[in-house]
Amino acid sequence: MTPMGPDDERALVARLRAGDTGAFDEVYDEYRPRVFAFLLRMTRSRTVAEDLLDEVWLRLVRHTTRLLPDTRLAAWLFTVARNLYWSHRRDALLEESSVPELLTLWPSPPPWPSPFDLAVAGELERRVERALLTLSPQYREVVLLVGHEGLTPTDAAVVCGISPEALRQRLSRARAALAEKLRETPAVAALTKGFAT
Amino acid sequence: MTVDLDDQQDDEVLASLARLRTCDVSQRRSHQLRRRCHAMLQAEPPANRWAWMVDGAPFRRVIVPALGSAWCLAYLVEIIRRTAAIYGYFGTP
């Protein structure tokens, strides 16, 4: 993942504004996996993450003519992705609260690793993934944006719609919570073994 | 010392996050979405051709007030003309 320079990014945005499909491809190839990984870890559902990812790119295409020349593409895309996630989450919570009797028909998330957990390699990586899942969405999004996506705290603050100072505080608490969860999270291998038997 | 230790642990936490895998959608889905976006980019709706004008400052600051003022002026002139005509100015009512 090579960071894009400001001049390169301005040129890319200018081409996007002009409707250049080549520029779209560059942005799409660079950010699609990153935005999808973010959405997947936030929603914990591949189907939902795929739907939200589609919407992120369709919104970009609809807004190309209105992009500002100095638009930070990473911040723009992750902001849209984050807003879509929270919107989806609100709808889902509303739906759940309106039909509480149906909730009993759906099993709660299983305590053993999901196929996604099993697919990721390495014990530490699995533990980090599991620890991430136990974090609140507010904490998860900041550690993912800064720790995994490499956004600057300023850009991450823009994405989350809070001040940089508030983001630094939230990030600090999120890192501490993640470290605590990592200490608490049992080794996945043991769980996997229990599930397999 | 404790602070240093905490910072070190925090750095390890962030480093472990950076090593997480990046996932992606299937190639088929990715191609479908790319094609759909290309089609939308290439088929720019006619409304967008004027979007720069509607969104831009000239439209908001000059053209809309000018059109509004012209309409008000024409309305005022017509009212004065008809009123004057009722009282016998500028010809019979």
A94/A115 same-domain check: no
Average pLDDT over residues A59-71: 90
Q: How confident is the model at residue B5 (pLDDT cuts 50, 70, 90)?
A: very low
Give yes or no for a contact between A114 and A185, defined as CB atoms under 8 angstroms apart.
no
Percent of chain A with pLDDT over 70: 77
Residue A75: CATH number of its domain: 1.10.1740.10
Instruction: Tell me whether A89 touches chain B (CB under 8 Å).
Output: no
Asked whether the beta carbons of residue A128 and residue B16 sit closer than 8 angstroms, the reply is yes
Q: How far apart are CA A84 and CA A36, in angstroms?
A: 12
pLDDT of the residue at A105: 47
Give the end of a domain, one of A105, A130, A161: A105
Which token pair is A89?
């989450």
In this complex, which of A64, A125, A129 lies closest to B41 when CB atoms are compared?
A: A64
| Tally of structural domains, chain A | 2
Rounded Cα distance between B93 and A11, Å, is 67
Residues A80 and A29 in one domain: yes
More confident site: A54 or B61: A54
What pLDDT does A194 receive?
39
Q: What was the ipTM of the complex prediction?
A: 0.72
What domain range includes position A139?
107-197
Average pLDDT of the segment spanning A186-194:
45
pLDDT of residue A193: 42
**Chain A contact for B30, CB < 8 A?**
yes
Assessment of whether the complete model's pTM goes beyond 0.95 = no
A114 shares its domain with A76: no
Same domain, A114 and A181: yes
Residue B7: pLDDT over 70: no
What are A82-127's pLDDT values in tens digits?
Answer: 999 999 988 887 766 655 544 444 444 544 455 555 555 567 777 8
Proportion of chain B above pLDDT 70, given as a percent: 68
Placement of tokens 């299937």 in the chain? B26
State how far the Cα of A196 lies from the Cα of A70, in Å rounded to an integer. 52
What is the tens place of the pLDDT at every residue in B52-93? Answer: 555 566 677 788 889 999 999 999 999 999 998 888 876 554
